């Protein structure tokens, strides 16, 4: 394939920001931005169960480097609402345009896949659907309800957009009672409008507060390496904590194509370790920080950690997730493979 086809496979007219972005070549990755595939029996079983399924996981579709580890833990992520987003963020590889599909049977089929894959924990996310009056809130809520109905031993995390701040839409999602309600802040105020032009920093914080006040465990994500400063990162973390965010993941920005925002810098593993320490000192219930950490990485264990932090008892039907956390990220289990502390222990600084 020609370079032009790889950069702009649809041969559409580029946005001005895309024209500007492609002037910067794709950056060379440092040595610590890599992972080793370890194929275990649980991963192999899940892969076999997915063959011929009518749905695909985000893990496989996006070639996530953590798929082997997450699937070994019986965790996976699904994308609902189609594959075309009504917004464009400068770091995101999902197509932008006018969505054409809205499948009201999707919740049932996602739940059936969860059952078939025998998942302990599932993250459900989706494209932003500003074309729908409810912002796809029914779709999220029904998917959560259907998973809980068909697979009561599976924990559900909903990773949602801001739904334009509509309280009725958000309330409909919250009432489905996911184990975790996640909404990713992603970056700091100074560059927020440049990176996420259709979102609003304060609106995202308000959403997290609303979810927490609705009795849900809350979660967010920060992507580093897009031009933020150290002090701005710390302030964004504090803003999230003040908004009653329980769980925080922190990751390195990896540029998906030349049309996307150039990488400002590679954040060193020791910096992620320091941010994790600062976050726990702020009072976060669970933090996962590292260059290849993604917002859904080891989500079940982070949920169990947050439950323990809050003094809430893990329901009997979800005890398997809690037991996994005790063996892995929980008490005395060490650090996850992609956690920065693990990379530092291997000699990456």
Q: Please enumerate, by residue number, every residue annotated as part of a binding site.
A: 59, 64, 70, 85, 89, 92, 296
The one-character DSSP state at 312 is P
CA distances from 216 to 175, 207, 245, 304 (A): 10, 12, 10, 13
Phi, psi of 239 (to 5 degrees): -60, -40
Q: What gap in Å lies between CA 192 and CA 197, rounded to an integer?
A: 7
Q: Within 10 A of 157 (CB to CB), how many other CB atoms are there?
A: 26
Binding residues for [4Fe-4S] cluster: 59, 64, 70, 85, 89, 92, 296
The answer to whether 339 touches 293, Cβ cutoff 8 Å, is yes
3-state secondary structure 207-260: HHHHHHHCCCEEEEEEEECCCCCHHHHHHHHHHHHHCCCCEEEEEECCCCCCCC
Closest CA to 321 of 76, 142, 155: 155
Q: What gap in Å lies between CA 2 and CA 207, rounded to an integer?
A: 43
The answer to whether 81 touches 126, Cβ cutoff 8 Å, is yes
Tell me the three state secondary structure of residue 324. helix
Q: Within 10 A of 347 (CB to CB), how many other CB atoms are there?
A: 9
């Amino acid at each position: 394939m020609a370079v032009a086809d790889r950069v702009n496979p649809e041969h559409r007219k580029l946005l001005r920001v895309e024209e500007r972005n492609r002037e910067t070549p794709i950056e060379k990755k440092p040595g610590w931005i890599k992972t080793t595939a370890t194929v275990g029996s649980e991963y192999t079983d899940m892969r076999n169960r997915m063959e011929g399924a009518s749905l695909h996981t985000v893990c496989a579709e996006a070639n996530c480097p953590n798929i082997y580890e997450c699937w070994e833990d019986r965790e996976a992520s699904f994308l609902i609402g189609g594959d075309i987003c009504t917004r464009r963020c400068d770091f995101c590889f999902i197509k932008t345009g006018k969505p054409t599909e809205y499948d009201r049977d999707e919740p049932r089929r996602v739940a059936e896949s969860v059952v078939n894959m025998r998942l302990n924990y599932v993250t459900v996310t989706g494209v932003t659907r500003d074309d729908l009056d409810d912002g796809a809130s029914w779709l999220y809520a029904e998917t959560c309800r259907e998973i809980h109905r068909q697979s009561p031993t599976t924990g559900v995390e909903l990773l949602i957009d801001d739904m334009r701040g509509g309280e009725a839409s958000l309330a409909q999602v919250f009432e489905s009672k996911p184990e975790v309600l996640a909404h990713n802040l992603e970056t700091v105020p100074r560059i927020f409008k440049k990176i996420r032009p259709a979102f609003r920093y304060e609106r995202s914080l308000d959403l997290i507060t609303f979810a927490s006040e609705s009795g849900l465990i809350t979660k967010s994500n920060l992507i580093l390496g897009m031009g933020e400063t150290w002090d701005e990162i710390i302030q964004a973390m504090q803003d999230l904590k003040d908004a009653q965010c329980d769980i925080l993941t922190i990751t390195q920005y990896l540029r998906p194509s030349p049309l996307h925002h150039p990488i400002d810098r590679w954040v060193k593993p020791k910096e992620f370790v320091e941010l994790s320490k600062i976050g726990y000192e702020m009072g976060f219930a669970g933090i996962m920080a590292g260059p290849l950490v993604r917002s859904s990485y080891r989500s079940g264990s982070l949920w169990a950690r947050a439950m323990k932090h809050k003094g809430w008892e893990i329901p009997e039907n979800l005890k398997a997730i809690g037991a996994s956390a005790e063996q892995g990220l929980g008490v005395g289990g060490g650090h996850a493979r992609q956690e920065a502390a693990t990379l530092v222990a291997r000699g990456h600084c």
